[in-house]
Homo-oligomer: A and B are copies of this chain.
Protein backbone atom coordinates (compact mmCIF):
# COMPACT_ATOMS: atom_id res chain seq x y z
CA UNK A 1 0.00 0.00 0.00
CA UNK A 2 1.35 3.41 -1.03
CA UNK A 3 0.51 6.32 1.24
CA UNK A 4 1.49 9.67 -0.23
CA UNK A 5 1.45 12.76 1.94
CA UNK A 6 1.80 16.24 0.50
CA UNK A 7 3.23 18.62 3.10
CA UNK A 8 5.12 17.79 6.25
CA UNK A 9 5.08 20.56 8.87
CA UNK A 10 2.52 19.50 11.49
CA UNK A 11 -0.48 17.63 10.06
CA UNK A 12 1.51 15.87 7.36
CA UNK A 13 4.32 14.83 9.69
CA UNK A 14 1.84 13.59 12.31
CA UNK A 15 -0.17 11.67 9.71
CA UNK A 16 2.96 10.04 8.32
CA UNK A 17 4.26 8.89 11.70
CA UNK A 18 0.84 7.60 12.77
CA UNK A 19 0.00 5.71 9.61
CA UNK A 20 3.40 4.04 9.50
CA UNK A 21 2.81 2.74 13.03
CA UNK A 22 -0.66 1.51 12.05
CA UNK A 23 0.44 -0.03 8.75
CA UNK A 24 4.11 -0.93 9.15
CA UNK A 25 4.24 -2.67 5.78
CA UNK A 26 2.97 0.29 3.80
CA UNK A 27 5.17 2.73 1.86
CA UNK A 28 4.75 6.15 3.41
CA UNK A 29 6.23 9.11 1.56
CA UNK A 30 6.15 12.82 2.30
CA UNK A 31 6.64 15.35 -0.50
CA UNK A 32 7.11 18.92 0.62
CA UNK A 33 8.22 22.10 -1.13
CA UNK A 34 9.63 23.26 2.21
CA UNK A 35 13.32 23.12 3.13
CA UNK A 36 12.46 21.44 6.44
CA UNK A 37 9.99 18.85 7.65
CA UNK A 38 8.19 18.35 10.96
CA UNK A 39 8.83 21.54 12.87
CA UNK A 40 7.16 23.80 15.38
CA UNK A 41 6.25 26.89 13.36
CA UNK A 42 4.50 28.32 16.43
CA UNK A 43 7.90 28.53 18.11
CA UNK A 44 9.45 30.83 15.48
CA UNK A 45 8.61 34.07 17.35
CA UNK A 46 10.43 32.67 20.40
CA UNK A 47 13.44 31.70 18.30
CA UNK A 48 13.51 35.25 16.93
CA UNK A 49 13.17 36.61 20.46
CA UNK A 50 16.15 34.54 21.59
CA UNK A 51 14.31 32.32 24.06
CA UNK A 52 16.57 29.54 22.76
CA UNK A 53 19.64 29.86 20.59
CA UNK A 54 19.49 27.10 17.99
CA UNK A 55 16.64 27.02 15.49
CA UNK A 56 17.09 23.25 15.33
CA UNK A 57 15.29 23.07 18.67
CA UNK A 58 12.15 23.67 16.59
CA UNK A 59 12.67 20.49 14.57
CA UNK A 60 10.51 17.66 15.85
CA UNK A 61 11.70 14.88 13.55
CA UNK A 62 14.48 15.08 10.97
CA UNK A 63 14.47 13.51 7.51
CA UNK A 64 16.94 10.96 8.89
CA UNK A 65 14.65 10.11 11.81
CA UNK A 66 11.74 9.63 9.41
CA UNK A 67 13.99 7.38 7.34
CA UNK A 68 14.75 5.23 10.39
CA UNK A 69 10.99 4.84 10.90
CA UNK A 70 10.68 3.74 7.28
CA UNK A 71 9.19 7.01 6.00
CA UNK A 72 10.72 8.71 2.95
CA UNK A 73 10.76 12.49 2.93
CA UNK A 74 11.45 14.54 -0.20
CA UNK A 75 12.25 18.16 0.63
CA UNK A 76 12.14 21.01 -1.92
CA UNK A 77 9.72 18.92 -3.95
CA UNK A 78 6.51 20.48 -5.21
CA UNK A 79 3.30 18.58 -5.82
CA UNK A 80 2.14 20.11 -9.11
CA UNK A 81 -0.94 18.09 -9.93
CA UNK A 82 -3.14 15.40 -8.45
CA UNK A 83 -4.63 12.88 -10.90
CA UNK A 84 -7.43 11.28 -8.87
CA UNK A 85 -8.61 8.98 -11.66
CA UNK A 86 -5.15 7.52 -12.04
CA UNK A 87 -4.36 7.70 -8.30
CA UNK A 88 -1.18 9.57 -9.12
CA UNK A 89 0.53 12.80 -8.14
CA UNK A 90 2.92 14.76 -10.31
CA UNK A 91 5.83 15.97 -8.21
CA UNK A 92 8.82 18.03 -9.29
CA UNK A 93 12.06 19.53 -8.09
CA UNK A 94 13.99 22.22 -9.89
CA UNK A 95 15.74 19.48 -11.86
CA UNK A 96 13.27 16.69 -12.21
CA UNK A 97 9.64 15.61 -12.32
CA UNK A 98 7.90 12.30 -11.76
CA UNK A 99 4.51 10.68 -11.29
CA UNK A 100 3.98 8.83 -8.02
CA UNK A 101 1.24 6.28 -7.37
CA UNK A 102 -0.91 6.41 -4.26
CA UNK A 103 -3.49 4.15 -2.72
CA UNK A 104 -4.30 6.81 -0.13
CA UNK A 105 -3.36 10.46 -0.51
CA UNK A 106 -3.22 12.89 2.39
CA UNK A 107 -3.11 16.58 1.52
CA UNK A 108 -1.46 18.68 4.21
CA UNK A 109 -0.34 21.66 2.18
CA UNK A 110 -0.90 24.16 4.97
CA UNK A 111 -1.34 27.87 4.51
CA UNK A 112 0.79 30.79 3.35
CA UNK A 113 1.00 34.40 4.43
CA UNK A 114 -1.35 36.80 2.70
CA UNK A 115 0.57 39.52 0.88
CA UNK A 116 -1.39 42.77 0.95
CA UNK A 117 -1.66 45.01 -2.09
CA UNK A 118 0.88 47.71 -1.18
CA UNK A 119 3.01 49.64 -3.67
CA UNK A 120 6.56 48.35 -3.39
CA UNK A 121 5.66 45.28 -1.34
CA UNK A 122 7.67 42.96 -3.62
CA UNK A 123 10.56 45.29 -4.31
CA UNK A 124 12.72 45.00 -1.20
CA UNK A 125 14.72 42.34 0.60
CA UNK A 126 13.93 43.60 4.11
CA UNK A 127 10.19 42.95 3.87
CA UNK A 128 9.35 39.64 5.55
CA UNK A 129 6.57 37.24 6.34
CA UNK A 130 6.89 34.59 9.05
CA UNK A 131 5.85 31.08 8.24
CA UNK A 132 8.85 28.81 7.67
CA UNK A 133 12.11 28.07 9.40
CA UNK A 134 14.15 30.17 6.95
CA UNK A 135 11.78 33.12 7.49
CA UNK A 136 12.57 32.96 11.19
CA UNK A 137 16.32 32.74 10.59
CA UNK A 138 16.28 35.72 8.21
CA UNK A 139 14.13 37.86 10.52
CA UNK A 140 16.33 37.14 13.52
CA UNK A 141 19.50 37.96 11.57
CA UNK A 142 18.05 41.24 10.34
CA UNK A 143 16.60 42.11 13.76
CA UNK A 144 20.03 41.83 15.36
CA UNK A 145 21.30 44.57 13.01
CA UNK A 146 18.22 46.79 13.27
CA UNK A 147 17.04 49.63 15.48
CA UNK A 148 13.48 49.87 14.20
CA UNK A 149 10.89 47.44 12.88
CA UNK A 150 7.48 47.98 11.36
CA UNK A 151 4.88 45.28 11.89
CA UNK A 152 1.91 45.39 9.54
CA UNK A 153 -1.01 43.69 11.27
CA UNK A 154 -1.77 43.27 14.98
CA UNK A 155 -3.00 39.71 15.11
CA UNK A 156 -1.42 37.09 17.34
CA UNK A 157 1.77 36.70 15.26
CA UNK A 158 2.15 40.47 14.95
CA UNK A 159 1.99 40.89 18.72
CA UNK A 160 4.31 37.92 19.36
CA UNK A 161 6.87 39.57 17.09
CA UNK A 162 6.29 42.88 18.89
CA UNK A 163 7.44 41.11 22.06
CA UNK A 164 10.45 39.58 20.29
CA UNK A 165 11.59 42.88 18.79
CA UNK A 166 11.11 45.07 21.86
CA UNK A 167 12.88 42.51 24.06
CA UNK A 168 15.80 42.83 21.64
CA UNK A 169 15.90 46.57 22.04
CA UNK A 170 14.14 47.67 18.86
CA UNK A 171 11.69 50.50 18.50
CA UNK A 172 8.55 49.17 16.84
CA UNK A 173 5.56 50.62 15.02
CA UNK A 174 2.54 48.37 14.55
CA UNK A 175 0.13 49.34 11.79
CA UNK A 176 -3.37 47.85 11.85
CA UNK A 177 -6.08 48.59 9.32
CA UNK A 178 -8.88 47.66 11.74
CA UNK A 179 -9.90 50.03 14.49
CA UNK A 180 -8.46 47.73 17.14
CA UNK A 181 -5.84 45.10 17.93
CA UNK A 182 -6.56 41.33 17.61
CA UNK A 183 -9.92 41.54 15.96
CA UNK A 184 -10.75 37.97 16.99
CA UNK A 185 -11.50 39.53 20.39
CA UNK A 186 -14.58 41.63 21.02
CA UNK A 187 -13.95 45.40 20.88
CA UNK A 188 -14.13 45.82 24.69
CA UNK A 189 -11.48 43.14 25.21
CA UNK A 190 -9.29 44.43 22.35
CA UNK A 191 -9.38 47.82 24.05
CA UNK A 192 -8.30 46.19 27.27
CA UNK A 193 -5.32 44.52 25.52
CA UNK A 194 -4.26 47.87 24.08
CA UNK A 195 -4.58 49.68 27.42
CA UNK A 196 -2.61 46.95 29.18
CA UNK A 197 0.20 46.98 26.61
CA UNK A 198 0.35 50.77 26.38
CA UNK A 199 0.66 51.01 30.17
CA UNK A 200 4.11 49.38 30.01
CA UNK A 201 6.66 51.86 31.31
CA UNK A 202 9.28 53.12 28.88
CA UNK A 203 7.69 51.20 26.07
CA UNK A 204 9.42 51.44 22.71
CA UNK A 205 6.42 50.66 20.52
CA UNK A 206 3.39 52.45 19.15
CA UNK A 207 0.10 51.16 17.74
CA UNK A 208 -1.48 52.82 14.72
CA UNK A 209 -5.03 51.50 14.27
CA UNK A 210 -7.48 52.34 11.45
CA UNK A 211 -4.40 52.91 9.37
CA UNK A 212 -3.49 51.42 5.98
CA UNK A 213 -0.03 51.05 4.55
CA UNK A 214 -0.22 52.30 0.97
CA UNK A 215 3.41 52.40 -0.11
CA UNK A 216 6.84 51.16 0.87
CA UNK A 217 9.84 53.03 -0.53
CA UNK A 218 13.59 52.51 -0.40
CA UNK A 219 16.81 52.14 -2.34
CA UNK A 220 18.89 49.24 -3.61
CA UNK A 221 16.31 46.68 -2.54
CA UNK A 222 16.37 48.05 1.02
CA UNK A 223 13.06 49.54 2.11
CA UNK A 224 13.42 52.49 4.49
CA UNK A 225 10.02 54.19 4.63
CA UNK A 226 6.46 52.99 5.20
CA UNK A 227 3.77 55.44 4.05
CA UNK A 228 0.23 55.24 5.35
CA UNK A 229 -3.09 56.41 3.98
CA UNK A 230 -3.37 59.16 6.58
CA UNK A 231 -0.01 60.57 5.52
CA UNK A 232 2.30 59.12 8.15
CA UNK A 233 5.84 58.25 7.08
CA UNK A 234 7.62 55.75 9.26
CA UNK A 235 11.37 55.29 8.80
CA UNK A 236 12.30 51.70 9.47
CA UNK A 237 14.96 49.03 9.13
CA UNK A 238 12.69 46.09 8.49
CA UNK A 239 9.05 45.38 7.72
CA UNK A 240 7.07 42.29 8.68
CA UNK A 241 3.75 41.55 7.04
CA UNK A 242 1.45 39.79 9.52
CA UNK A 243 -1.93 40.37 7.93
CA UNK A 244 -3.18 36.82 7.94
CA UNK A 245 -2.79 33.62 5.99
CA UNK A 246 -4.55 31.92 3.10
CA UNK A 247 -5.04 28.18 2.69
CA UNK A 248 -2.93 26.33 0.14
CA UNK A 249 -6.01 24.76 -1.45
CA UNK A 250 -5.27 25.43 -5.15
CA UNK A 251 -3.74 21.99 -5.76
CA UNK A 252 -6.86 20.33 -4.34
CA UNK A 253 -9.20 22.64 -6.23
CA UNK A 254 -7.38 21.93 -9.49
CA UNK A 255 -7.94 18.21 -8.89
CA UNK A 256 -11.68 18.78 -8.60
CA UNK A 257 -11.79 18.45 -4.81
CA UNK A 258 -14.57 20.48 -3.21
CA UNK A 259 -13.43 23.73 -1.60
CA UNK A 260 -15.49 25.20 1.26
CA UNK A 261 -16.86 28.71 1.41
CA UNK A 262 -13.91 29.71 3.61
CA UNK A 263 -11.58 28.95 0.70
CA UNK A 264 -10.06 25.96 2.48
CA UNK A 265 -10.57 22.30 1.51
CA UNK A 266 -13.89 20.82 2.60
CA UNK A 267 -13.58 17.60 4.59
CA UNK A 268 -16.01 15.44 6.54
CA UNK A 269 -15.42 14.36 10.14
CA UNK A 270 -13.20 11.51 8.91
CA UNK A 271 -10.98 14.09 7.16
CA UNK A 272 -12.09 12.72 3.78
CA UNK A 273 -12.28 15.15 0.88
CA UNK A 274 -14.98 14.94 -1.79
CA UNK A 275 -12.79 12.54 -3.81
CA UNK A 276 -12.31 8.96 -2.72
CA UNK A 277 -8.98 7.93 -1.18
CA UNK A 278 -7.96 11.57 -0.73
CA UNK A 279 -7.83 13.03 2.76
CA UNK A 280 -6.91 16.52 3.89
CA UNK A 281 -5.77 17.79 7.27
CA UNK A 282 -4.14 20.76 8.91
CA UNK A 283 -4.11 24.40 7.86
CA UNK A 284 -5.27 23.68 4.29
CA UNK A 285 -8.71 22.44 5.33
CA UNK A 286 -11.72 23.85 7.11
CA UNK A 287 -13.43 22.56 10.23
CA UNK A 288 -16.81 22.32 11.87
CA UNK A 289 -17.22 24.86 14.68
CA UNK A 290 -18.59 22.86 17.59
CA UNK A 291 -20.63 25.74 19.05
CA UNK A 292 -22.09 27.29 15.89
CA UNK A 293 -22.15 24.17 13.74
CA UNK A 294 -20.81 26.31 10.91
CA UNK A 295 -17.83 25.65 8.64
CA UNK A 296 -14.88 27.73 9.78
CA UNK A 297 -11.21 27.99 8.99
CA UNK A 298 -9.06 28.24 12.10
CA UNK A 299 -5.54 27.20 11.08
CA UNK A 300 -3.62 26.21 14.23
CA UNK A 301 -0.82 23.79 15.02
CA UNK A 302 -2.66 21.92 17.75
CA UNK A 303 -5.64 21.29 15.47
CA UNK A 304 -3.31 20.24 12.64
CA UNK A 305 -1.84 17.53 14.86
CA UNK A 306 -5.27 16.17 15.79
CA UNK A 307 -6.45 16.24 12.20
CA UNK A 308 -3.28 14.55 10.98
CA UNK A 309 -3.86 11.78 13.48
CA UNK A 310 -7.52 11.44 12.47
CA UNK A 311 -6.69 11.37 8.74
CA UNK A 312 -4.06 8.67 9.34
CA UNK A 313 -6.41 6.48 11.37
CA UNK A 314 -9.15 6.68 8.76
CA UNK A 315 -6.78 6.26 5.82
CA UNK A 316 -5.52 3.13 7.60
CA UNK A 317 -9.08 1.81 7.80
CA UNK A 318 -9.70 2.55 11.48
CA UNK A 319 -12.82 4.58 12.02
CA UNK A 320 -12.41 7.75 14.09
CA UNK A 321 -14.03 11.16 13.90
CA UNK A 322 -12.76 14.67 14.46
CA UNK A 323 -15.79 16.61 15.69
CA UNK A 324 -14.36 20.04 15.04
CA UNK A 325 -12.89 23.05 16.76
CA UNK A 326 -13.81 25.71 19.25
CA UNK A 327 -11.39 28.34 17.97
CA UNK A 328 -9.34 28.14 21.17
CA UNK A 329 -6.24 30.31 21.00
CA UNK A 330 -3.64 31.55 23.45
CA UNK A 331 -0.85 34.01 22.78
CA UNK A 332 1.59 36.06 24.82
CA UNK A 333 2.77 39.61 24.28
CA UNK A 334 5.09 41.14 26.89
CA UNK A 335 3.64 39.42 29.97
CA UNK A 336 0.11 39.80 28.71
CA UNK A 337 -1.64 36.50 28.15
CA UNK A 338 -4.46 36.65 25.61
CA UNK A 339 -6.70 33.62 25.27
CA UNK A 340 -10.08 32.87 23.79
CA UNK A 341 -12.41 30.03 22.94
CA UNK A 342 -15.74 29.66 21.19
CA UNK A 343 -17.73 32.46 19.64
CA UNK A 344 -17.24 36.16 20.22
CA UNK A 345 -20.28 38.46 20.35
CA UNK A 346 -20.16 39.12 16.61
CA UNK A 347 -19.88 35.48 15.55
CA UNK A 348 -22.50 34.51 18.14
CA UNK A 349 -25.00 36.89 16.55
CA UNK A 350 -24.06 35.64 13.07
CA UNK A 351 -24.77 32.10 14.25
CA UNK A 352 -28.26 33.12 15.34
CA UNK A 353 -27.75 33.39 19.09
CA UNK A 354 -28.74 36.26 21.37
CA UNK A 355 -25.47 36.81 23.18
CA UNK A 356 -25.35 38.12 26.71
CA UNK A 357 -22.01 38.65 28.35
CA UNK A 358 -20.16 39.82 31.42
CA UNK A 359 -16.62 40.99 32.06
CA UNK A 360 -14.89 40.30 35.39
CA UNK A 361 -11.57 41.85 36.44
CA UNK A 362 -9.97 40.16 39.45
CA UNK A 363 -6.65 39.10 40.91
CA UNK A 364 -5.65 35.66 39.59
CA UNK A 365 -5.04 34.34 43.10
CA UNK A 366 -5.96 35.51 46.58
CA UNK A 367 -4.90 39.15 46.78
CA UNK A 368 -2.71 38.75 49.88
CA UNK A 369 -0.34 36.37 48.11
CA UNK A 370 3.00 37.54 46.71
CA UNK A 371 3.31 37.77 42.92
CA UNK A 372 -0.43 38.12 42.53
CA UNK A 373 -1.42 38.76 38.92
CA UNK A 374 -4.61 39.90 37.29
CA UNK A 375 -7.20 38.52 34.96
CA UNK A 376 -9.93 40.15 32.92
CA UNK A 377 -12.39 37.54 31.78
CA UNK A 378 -15.35 37.83 29.45
CA UNK A 379 -17.91 35.04 29.22
CA UNK A 380 -20.61 34.96 26.57
CA UNK A 381 -23.82 32.92 26.71
CA UNK A 382 -27.09 32.71 24.84
CA UNK A 383 -29.81 34.68 26.61
CA UNK A 384 -32.57 32.41 25.34
CA UNK A 385 -31.17 29.02 26.37
CA UNK A 386 -28.33 29.83 28.76
CA UNK A 387 -25.96 27.88 26.49
CA UNK A 388 -22.34 28.89 26.94
CA UNK A 389 -20.98 30.33 23.69
CA UNK A 390 -17.45 31.52 24.33
CA UNK A 391 -15.02 33.52 26.38
CA UNK A 392 -11.93 35.68 26.29
CA UNK A 393 -9.29 36.19 28.95
CA UNK A 394 -6.51 38.75 29.24
CA UNK A 395 -4.04 39.02 32.05
CA UNK A 396 -1.05 37.49 33.72
CA UNK A 397 0.21 33.96 33.23
CA UNK A 398 -2.79 32.05 34.64
CA UNK A 399 -5.40 33.78 32.48
CA UNK A 400 -5.43 31.04 29.86
CA UNK A 401 -6.29 28.31 32.34
CA UNK A 402 -9.86 29.59 32.65
CA UNK A 403 -10.25 29.43 28.89
CA UNK A 404 -9.42 25.71 28.83
CA UNK A 405 -12.09 24.99 31.45
CA UNK A 406 -14.52 27.01 29.39
CA UNK A 407 -13.49 25.19 26.19
CA UNK A 408 -14.33 21.91 27.89
CA UNK A 409 -17.73 23.32 28.84
CA UNK A 410 -18.34 24.40 25.23
CA UNK A 411 -17.39 20.95 23.97
CA UNK A 412 -20.01 19.49 26.34
CA UNK A 413 -22.62 22.11 25.34
CA UNK A 414 -23.04 23.18 28.96
CA UNK A 415 -25.25 26.04 30.07
CA UNK A 416 -24.32 28.81 32.49
CA UNK A 417 -26.44 27.08 35.10
CA UNK A 418 -24.66 23.74 34.55
CA UNK A 419 -21.31 25.44 35.12
CA UNK A 420 -21.97 27.93 37.87
CA UNK A 421 -21.09 25.70 40.84
CA UNK A 422 -18.26 23.87 39.07
CA UNK A 423 -15.87 22.43 41.64
CA UNK A 424 -12.72 24.16 40.39
CA UNK A 425 -9.60 23.71 42.48
CA UNK A 426 -8.87 26.41 45.04
CA UNK A 427 -5.85 27.30 47.11
CA UNK A 428 -4.49 30.82 47.74
CA UNK A 429 -1.47 30.48 45.38
CA UNK A 430 -3.67 29.23 42.53
CA UNK A 431 -6.99 31.05 42.49
CA UNK A 432 -9.40 33.28 44.32
CA UNK A 433 -11.88 31.47 46.60
CA UNK A 434 -14.54 32.03 43.97
CA UNK A 435 -12.77 31.67 40.67
CA UNK A 436 -13.33 34.50 38.14
CA UNK A 437 -15.07 31.95 35.90
CA UNK A 438 -17.62 31.22 38.61
CA UNK A 439 -18.12 34.91 39.37
CA UNK A 440 -18.83 35.45 35.69
CA UNK A 441 -21.31 32.56 35.65
CA UNK A 442 -23.16 33.90 38.71
CA UNK A 443 -23.49 37.34 37.10
CA UNK A 444 -24.60 35.80 33.80
CA UNK A 445 -27.21 33.81 35.71
CA UNK A 446 -28.83 37.01 36.90
CA UNK A 447 -28.92 38.21 33.28
CA UNK A 448 -30.50 34.94 32.07
CA UNK A 449 -33.39 34.61 34.47
CA UNK A 450 -35.29 31.89 32.65
CA UNK A 451 -32.67 29.17 32.44
CA UNK A 452 -30.62 29.91 35.49
A366 touches B322 (CB 8 A): no
The tally of residues in A whose CB lies under 8 Å from a CB in B reads 69
Q: Which residue from B52, B369, B370, B424 sits with its C-beta under 8 Å from A368?
A: B52
A301 touches B433 (CB 8 A): yes
Alpha-carbon distance A40/B367, docked complex (angstroms): 11
B429 touches A332 (CB 8 A): yes
A411 touches B403 (CB 8 A): no
Q: Can you list, as one digit per residue, whether each of A295-331 has a CB less than 8 Å from chain B (1) or not (0)?
A: 0000011110110011000000000001101111111
Rank and list the top 9 A-B pairs by shortest CB-CB distance, nearest first.
A412-B412, A330-B425, A302-B426, A401-B401, A57-B368, A326-B423, A408-B408, A328-B423, A328-B425
List A residues at the B interface (Cβ < 8 Å).
10, 40, 42-43, 46, 51-52, 57-58, 290, 300-303, 305-306, 309-310, 322-323, 325-332, 337, 339, 341, 366-370, 397-398, 400-409, 411-412, 414, 418-419, 421-431, 433-435, 438, 442
22 contacts between A and B (CB under 8 A): A42-B366, A42-B427, A46-B429, A51-B368, A302-B433, A302-B435, A306-B438, A326-B423, A327-B423, A329-B425, A330-B425, A330-B427, A341-B423, A341-B425, A398-B401, A401-B401, A401-B404, A408-B409, A408-B412, A409-B412, A411-B422, A412-B412
Question: Besides A309-B442, A325-B423, 12 other CB < 8 A contacts?
Answer: A42-B428, A46-B428, A302-B426, A328-B423, A329-B425, A403-B425, A408-B408, A408-B419, A409-B412, A411-B414, A412-B414, A412-B418
